[in-house]
Structure 1
Amino acid sequence: MAQRAAKRTAKVLLLAGTCLAAAPASAQDGTVEERLDRLEALVMQLVDRMDAQQGQMDSQQAETLAATQQALAETRALQTRQAELAAQIDEPKKQEDKGFRVGNTTISYAGYVKFDAISQRTSGGQVAGGSIVRDFLIPGAIPVGGQASAWDTDFNARQSRLIFKTATDVGAEHTLNSQIELDFMVTPNGDERISNSYQPRLRQAFITYDNWLFGQAWSTFQNVGALPDSLDFIGTTPGTVFVRQPMIRYTKDGLMLAAEQPETTVTTPTGARVLGGDDTVPDFVARYNWSGDWGSVTAAGIFRTLRITDNDFGTGNDSAFGYGLSLSGKIAVSERDDFRFMGTVGDGLGRYIGLNIVNDAALDASGNLDPIFTYSGFAAFRHIWSDQFRSTLAGSYFKADNPVALTTGGVTDESWNVFANLIYSPVRPVDIGIEYMYAKRILENGLSGNLQKVQVSAKYSF
């Protein structure tokens, strides 16, 4: 309104100024009245022209304002959509961050490609070519009592892994997911002569519905999050709980309860291993997880029923109880450093520790089961030197209280190992590293053997 009043004032002043300017010339150009009529007509034309221009300017401003409002609305809608997508990505049970959709199911994938170059030497005997002992550390298989081997070198890509996941939309009140995981470790039919072909194997296969898990997964008794950053397949194997098996598991906040596949491993009076396969009661596991900015800690307990029948040894049926406790975690020491640990103790835990270093129980002269007591643990310190370099220094230990009178002296009494590595990541998904490991195995009869290993690896995670 103020702008319009100012323009009207300008018109009046223009008319008055024009009249004043025309006064001296009135005598030459006719009467004053004629002169004023012509001037008034001229001023009115100018006023009409200014009004037309004002209307045009108002129309342009209105169009500009409307376009601006529309663009703002579109921007706000885009921001809302981006926020919705970000929320979906942040919720792993509802939306995977990569994959494709089939119907109401999102299918995603992950995994890595890993190349390992391993050169190792054993003091107690030669490890045969093609043996899995040349792929990663298996404490219970370190040779003892023989002649030292030369350094044996092998290249492989067997640890490469594929993970497929699904998330199905079954409404806001429920979540339904699944996972299948494959790699090529510990499988037959490969050769180093021509093709280096290896069969894929099933690592994990499970479904989850709300708080329930059904299928094959890491044992609830194992804390995968505490494992050290190593180039070896496990790293601190002698002191690590390490089992994957079928189970039914319930999870609520930090609490986990599971019934898992039972399997009793028995040491015979000759020191051999027998798997009876006659178990009737699952292994029961209870676990609780604590976490915060400081890191995470897990406490787990397991209760087992070990069992054999007459057809295993011809000595009748028998059963015994096994149990175990494990405490593990990952603690933030500083912004760049962390400390990882695990301590486990129990009776009849054999197959759960260090890739079954010793068995769950021994068989006495009467054909009864005698559970074997074990304790084990590891500690690992990781330091991040920069955005591209990191290192881990770790060590682990295992000890068994074997009933030697029932097992002979040829079974493992203790095992330990240490390793150190340096890993370089030129870009985020790629790790290139070198690692040195020393491991030792000692039998109940005093014989021992060690393993030294240098490993170079390149890994691309996707």
Structure 2
Amino acid sequence: MMISQSRKLIVASSMLACAAPAMAGFEFDLGDGNKLKFGGYIKIDARYVDGDVAYKDFWTGRGTVLQDDKSQFKIFANETRFNTTYIHGDVTGFLEFDLYGGNGNEIISNSYNPRLRHAFIKYQDWLAGQTWTTYMNTSAIPETADFAGATVGLAFIRQGMIRYSNSGFEFAVENPETYAPGVEDPENDNIPDLVAKYTFKDDWGNISASILGRQLNFFNTEDGSEDDDYAVGYSLAGNIKTFGKDDIRFQVHLGETGRYTTVTTSQDVYNNEAEETTAYLVAYRHFWTETMRSTFLYGMAEADGSEDEATQWSVNLFENLTKELAVGFEIGNFEMEPGTGDKGDSYYGQLSVRYVL
């Protein structure tokens, strides 16, 4: 059998590939509807952080507030990833790994373990496996040099699920987990999370509406007994075209969204009941030329019970040197104020180079 290889042209107009499984760069046609694809990218980051929130390779919604300002500089390649797609007629399998698996040693070799990102099977309208939660609108994630984007105000989870899709409607049962720092986890989550989403699409872009229903399980801090509560969250998110190639991306999350939004700024349970969170993110991407663009973004999250708050902003400039090679520089600020009152913030600058395979 003849195997043909075709080099795919990747439009590297987005430095952000956490929003969706990275596109395949090489495709082998095995005949009879069978295909094998390989893809991913190599990304190098140089990052400087200064302030009284401790350094992280990328911001999440919560950090460590220091007594004094500290600064740190690092060069790393952990975001580098690789993936394979297997297609046999109506059945598709997808695997993707990056290098954030830990065990790195900066003293000698800077070795890091692969980490599973996506592993799923698709058949007609059904998906089973690990990938982005159905609650997310991945097209509403801004283009950033920071690996996770603006996690404050962002819906961001990968987990196991079974999902049904039909036109713009999606329904899924997903892996349950109760996130409650400081409260012992009884590990008895026995009802899957339920997510429904509908996405409106047209030439102007898309807007999605999501609803999330969960049972939370935890130990009651007052009497030490096993307890539970129910949580419901809502989301409106979208990516809307404006002028030329520009777009505005936004997300608004209300209700008891817990771990599904803001990447640990708020928790699922506080004072033995579901925590309510208000979070939003807005970003505008402007193209200065056909290959040069900037994104301006702001995100905010606030938890009602714990009174934990966080904000994040950034501005960047990216340029495609070729279709496969892009460089970008970004500056921004992450600020957090836990309900305990230990407020802190740090500024950062990051230079990124990404080569799409």
TM-score for the superposition, normalised by structure 2:
0.89
Cα separation, partners in 2 of 1:97 and 1:389, compared to 1, 3 Å? closer
RMSD: 2.0
Seen in structure 2, the aligned counterparts of structure 1 residues 276 and 122 have a Cα distance that, compared at 3 Å, is farther
Any residues of structure 2 matched to 1:256-271 within 5 Å, and which?
256-267=170-181
Match of 1:99 among 11, 15, 27: 27
Match of 2:97 among 178, 182, 186: 182
Residue in structure 1 matching 2:340, options 445, 450, 453: 445
Instruction: Please say if residues 25 and 356 of structure 2, whose CA atoms lie closer than 8 Å, have aligned partners that are also in contact.
Output: no
* In structure 2, distance between residues paired with 1:274 and 1:345: 26
Larger-Rg structure: 1
SS at match of 1:198: coil
Counterpart for residue 349 of structure 2 = 454
SS at structure 2 position matched to 1:225: helix
What amino acid is aligned across from residue 204 of structure 2 in structure 1?
W
Shift of 1:107: 1.1
One-letter identity of the residue aligned with 2:74: D
Aligned pair partner of 2:61 in 117, 139, 150 = 139
Do 1:273 and 1:359's aligned partners in 2 also have CA atoms closer than 8 Å? no
Residue 51 of structure 2: aligned partner:
122
**Could you say which residue in structure 1 is the equivalent of 2:236?**
327
Q: 1:109 to 1:274 in 2, by over 3 A?
A: farther
Equivalence map 1:190-339=2 (5 Å): 190-267=104-181, 272-308=182-218, 315-339=224-248
Q: Report the TM-score, using the length of structure 1 for normalisation.
A: 0.69
**% identity of equivalent residues:** 31
Deviation at residue 101 of structure 1 after TM alignment:
4.5
Q: What are the Cα deviations for residues 366-425 of structure 1, in whole angstroms up to 9, with x where unaligned?
A: xxx31111010100000011122111000100000125xxxxxxxx61000110000011
Is the Cα contact below 8 Å between 2:60 and 2:264 reproduced in 1?
Answer: no
Measured after TM superposition, the shift of residue 145 of structure 1 is: 5.1
Q: Distance in 1 between matches of 2:198 and 2:115?
A: 30
The farther-off stretch of 420-429 and 349-358 is 349-358
* Count of equivalent residues: 334
Post-superposition offset of 1:314 = 7.3
Partner of 1:156: 76
User: Is the contact between residue 114 and residue 459 of structure 1 (CA under 8 Å) also seen in structure 2?
Assistant: yes
Q: Which residue of 2 aligns with 1:75?
A: none
- Per the TM alignment, residue 362 of structure 1 is displaced from its structure 2 partner at its CA by 2.3
Q: Does the CA-based 8 Å contact 1:144-1:448 persist in structure 2? A: yes
Please tell me whether residue 392 in structure 1 is matched to residue 295 in structure 2: yes
Residue 374 (structure 1) aligned with residue 277 (structure 2):
yes
User: Which fold has the larger relative contact order, with Cα–Cα distance below 8 Å and residues 6 or more apart in sequence?
Assistant: 2
Partner of 2:3: none
SS in 1 for 2:259: helix
Q: Is the 8 A contact 1:263 1:275 kept in 2?
A: no
Q: Partners in 2 of 1:275 and 1:333 — Cα distance?
A: 46
In structure 1, distance between residues paired with 2:113 and 2:345? 30
Q: Secondary structure at the match of 2:152?
A: helix
* Separation in structure 2 between the aligned mates of residue 448 and residue 361 of structure 1, nearest angstrom: 22
The runs of at least 4 aligned residues of structure 1 exceeding 4 Å deviation read: 101-104
How far off is 1:313 after superposition? 9.3
User: How far, CA to CA, are the matches of 2:136 and 2:47 in structure 1?
Assistant: 27
CA pair 275-428 structure 1, distance change in 2 beyond 3 A:
farther
Tell me, in whole angstroms, the C-alpha distance in 1 between the residues paired with 2:219 and 2:345: 37
For 2:94, the aligned partner's letter is Q
Q: Which has the higher helix share?
A: 1
Q: Is the 8 A contact 2:183 2:219 kept in 1?
A: no
Displacement of 1:356: 1.7
Q: Is contact 2:25–2:39 with CA below 8 Å preserved after alignment?
A: no
Cα drift, residue 336 of structure 1: 2.1
Normalized per residue, which structure has more strand?
2
**TM-fit CA distance, 1:235:** 2.1
Contact 2:159 2:175 in 1 (8 A): yes
Once residues 200 and 145 of structure 1 are traced to their aligned partners in structure 2, the CA distance between those partners, rounded to angstroms, is 31
Contact in 1 for aligned 2:265/2:308 (Cα 8 Å): no
